[in-house]
Each structure stands twice: as C-alpha cells, then as structure tokens.
C-alpha cells in the first residue's frame, strides 16, 4: 500500500466501501455458517449496513458520517449488550474476509484491513470462549 494514499481511496471511496459492507451483510444474511452472528442483529439489516458503512468511511480516512450522526463510536460500549466470544469474533472476521474476496479486493489491501480489524474484533469480546 502507498503510505500516502488513504485506505478510503484504496477501497474506491464511498461506492467501494458500500460494496464491501453490502457484501459483508449479504454473507451474514444468507450463509448458514454466519447464523450465530446474524442473530445478534435486528430483523432487517438496513440500519446495520448503514452504520457500518458510515463508520468504515470515517475510520478508513474518508468522511466522518458516523461521528456526525452519533458522536464518538464507542465500539465496545455499543456492543456490550451482545454476547460476544471467540466464536462470534471468528465468524465476524470470516464474514469480512469472504466479503473482501467477493469484492475482488487486492490482497495487500485485504491483508491490511484484516490485520487492522483483528485487534478490534478481539477487543470486542465480552465473554470467555
């Protein structure tokens, strides 16, 4: 990755980030292996799709849509009501990895994102196992 280029641009701006988020939630919604994490979400995923899109835009160096709407992300605090252990963490990461593949994300960009997300995903755990 070019250290001067924003990750947001590497993903293709808002259109690319939206494509990734939609691929992620499509996998979660339709793949049986992600049923466990799907159950942690509302009946419709429209709001979840928007929130992850807004968050990723800002987190990747683009517009701060999430912060403008909701303030500081406070990721762990916002996820505390949900039981998140290693299986949920691993399923979330696997879903994202498959979404990156679905979007034909270049391997160096995909590897970078998965590395960045792995620590956060682990930090979100709020129960053992």
| φ, ψ (nearest 5 deg) of residue 61 | 105, 5
| Distance from the Cα of residue 68 to its chain's centroid | 19
CA atoms of 69 and 72, how far apart (whole Å): 9
Residue 38 has pLDDT above 80, yes or no: yes
* Residue 125 CB neighbour total at 10 angstroms: 17
Rounded to two decimals, what is the model's pTM?
0.94
- 5 pLDDT band, cuts 50/70/90, is confident
Span 10-123: which CATH code?
1.10.490.10
* Residue 129 confidence (pLDDT): 79
Taking residue 119's Cβ as centre, other Cβ atoms within 10 Å add up to 9
9 — pLDDT class (breaks 50, 70, 90): very high
Tens digits of residue pLDDT in 50-96: 999 999 999 999 999 999 999 999 999 999 999 999 999 999 999 99
Which pLDDT score is estimated for 2? 57
- Domain spans, the chain: 10-123
């Amino acid at each position: 990755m070019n250290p001067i280029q924003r990750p947001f641009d590497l993903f293709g701006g808002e259109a690319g980030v939206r494509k990734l988020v939609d691929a992620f939630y499509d996998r979660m919604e339709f793949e049986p292996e992600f049923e466990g994490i799907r159950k942690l979400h509302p009946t419709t995923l429209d709001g979840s799709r928007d929130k992850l899109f807004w968050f990723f835009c800002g987190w990747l160096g683009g517009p701060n849509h999430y912060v403008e709407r909701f303030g500081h992300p406070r990721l762990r605090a916002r996820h505390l009501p949900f039981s998140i252990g290693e299986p949920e963490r691993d399923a979330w990461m696997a879903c994202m990895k498959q979404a990156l593949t679905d979007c034909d994300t270049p391997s160096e960009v995909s590897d970078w994102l998965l590395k960045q997300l792995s620590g956060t995903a682990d930090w979100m755990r709020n129960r053992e196992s």
